[in-house]
Structure 1
Amino acid sequence: MQRMGMMIGVQPEMLAKYRELHAAVWPEILDLISRCNIRNYTIFLREPENLLFGTWEYHGTDFAADMARMAADEKNQEWWAFTIPCQKPLETRAEGEWWAMMEEVFHHD
């Protein structure tokens, strides 16, 4: 199991829409997340900066393949058509990232 974290901004004018979408995530998306070996997925919001922090546990053996499967999923592409316009990527993210991945530096069970 690998714990992962990521950050992204949210467009201030889209904050209400982002909250609305995540208050009722489509069942197909929740199932896809599980099938892609992601567990304990949480997104936190920090206002007034409008930053999102996502964290989850990855329980698979091939993260790249699972993420490719998620990206290729037709229903997920439809979901992203609603959520991506709400997001504002960090300027400091690595090339190829949308959400900026974070390094775990401490954990306590």
Structure 2
Amino acid sequence: MTSSTIKPAAKRIHQIIKLKPEHYEAYKDCHAKVWPEVLQRIKGSHIEDYSISYDSSTGILFASFKYTGTNFEEDMEAVRQDAKTREWWNMTDGYQESLNPGAVSSEMGGVNGTPAWWKELEEVFYVA
């Protein structure tokens, strides 16, 4: 096996955000039928094993995924530039409340120093 065929180690990402309680059903419903174009962009940007969980006692959504590409910033920019994904975010951001002070939206997260919409968490333990 040459070095060019070795797959890079996956980068594991964990994030949280608050779900507005009045939007619980709408959020679940839209994620039960995610738009195919959004799923295609996710996969095209090397995002795998993506899940979102909900804690009803706190209203916190917890997202976890693996990034398996080689240029995280470039792949995340491709997600940000995708028109259908921006349309999806426009809908789902209204259901959420960012835990990052100063965050504006998913689309603007990380642009010109604007905080990310979802708050990234530090992974402190993992066993495969």
Answer yes or no: same fold by TM over 0.5: yes
Structure 1 gaps of 5+ residues are: none
Give per-residue Cα distances to partners, 1:52-101, cap 9 Å, x unaligned: 00000000111111111101101111111110100111146885111000
Structure with more of its chain in strand, by fraction:
1
Structure 2 gaps of 5+ residues are: 1-9, 104-113
Equivalent residue, structure 2, for 1:17: 26
Q: Which has the larger radius of gyration?
A: 2
- Alignment: residue pair count: 109
- Describe the SS at the equivalent of 1:96: coil
Question: What's the CA shift for 1:48?
Answer: 2.2
Give the TM-score taking structure 2 as reference length.
0.80
Identity %: 36
Distance 2:71 2:121 in 1: 19
Aligned partner of 1:30 among 35, 39, 46: 39
Equivalent residue, structure 1, for 2:7: none
Query: In the alignment, is the contact (CA less than 8 A) between 1:93 and 1:101 conserved in 2?
Result: no
Equivalent residue, structure 2, for 1:59: 68
Q: Moved runs in structure 1, 4+ residues, more than 6 A?
A: none
Summarize the Cα distance change of 1:6–1:24 in structure 2 as closer, same or farther, 3 Å threshold: same
CA RMSD of aligned residues (A): 1.5
Give the TM-score taking structure 1 as reference length.
0.93
